[in-house]
Amino acid sequence: MKQSLDGRTVLVTGANGGLGEHFVRQALERGAARVYAAARTEKNWNDTRVRALTLDLTRLGDAERAAAVATDVDLLINNAAVAPVGDSISGPEDVLRQTFETNFFGTLRVARAFTPVLAANGGGTLLNILSSAAWINVPTGYAASKAAMWSATNALRFELREQGTQVVALLVGMIDTAMSARWDVPKVAAADVVAQAYDAVADGSIEVLADEPTRHLKSRLNTPAEELYPWLDEQLAGFKA
């Protein structure tokens, strides 16, 4: 049975498609009182419980403006991210900077802007959508930015504990969305990832491992590096960004 979000007010970044749209729809199905659907362009959701909100993570001041409007939020879902075509850790610096500006600095900017909002609404919940790429040797700026955000999520959990904020990290491999369409690999359904996330919010969890490859990877992280990285190389054979 799906756990309830009755009466909660949710804000989802990157809400207009892929995983974000599932977060909006399932929040309503689980009884959320209001959902702010935040994205770079507004969308008509045809539901009075959904309020479209313009938010560009890379534009200074946008996060603060959103927090000034959405003062009733008690569940913030940092979902927005980019994964550029041809992404490489040795690629052009401007592309790497843009990836970090969205996936790390932009995500952290939104979390910081909404920290006092969550505090004012009883502590609330901060859910950051990360990636198992944070733990593996994929040579991309995306993976590096998600590794940085994983560390920041753990730091936020420590920093916000006094105000009673539940900080949840969701880690997952490939999700069946438009962002991952160029990779011909097994993928988990977006609806299933979102369902696991909302169940974790409801039961007080602080980490979600949303597919079997991610759960298996987590179990291997205590393996000596000399063994772990050759094993990871085998798992990633043929992977192209």
Q: At what angle do helices 190-203 and 18-29 cross, to 10 degrees?
A: 50
Contact 151, 193 (CB under 8 A): no
Residue 237 clears pLDDT 80, i.e. is over it: no
Helix (H, G, I), strand (E, B) or coil at 161: helix
Question: Average pLDDT, stretch 72-86?
Answer: 95
Question: Average pLDDT, stretch 150-169?
Answer: 98
* pTM given for the model: 0.93
Q: Give the pLDDT confidence of 34-49 residue by residue, as tens digits.
A: 999 999 999 999 999 9
Cα 198 from Cα 7, distance rounded (Å): 14
Q: Where are the domains of the chain?
A: 9-235
What mean pLDDT is reported for the chain?
92
Torsion angle of the four alpha carbons 6, 170, 22, 36, in this order, in degrees rounded to the nearest 10: 60
Q: What is the pLDDT of residue 184?
A: 60
Q: What is the pLDDT of residue 186?
A: 64
Alpha-helix runs per DSSP H in 79-140: 93-100, 107-120
CATH of the domain spanning 9-235: 3.40.50.720
Q: Give the pLDDT confidence of 8-43 residue by residue, as tens digits.
A: 999 999 999 889 999 999 999 999 999 999 999 999
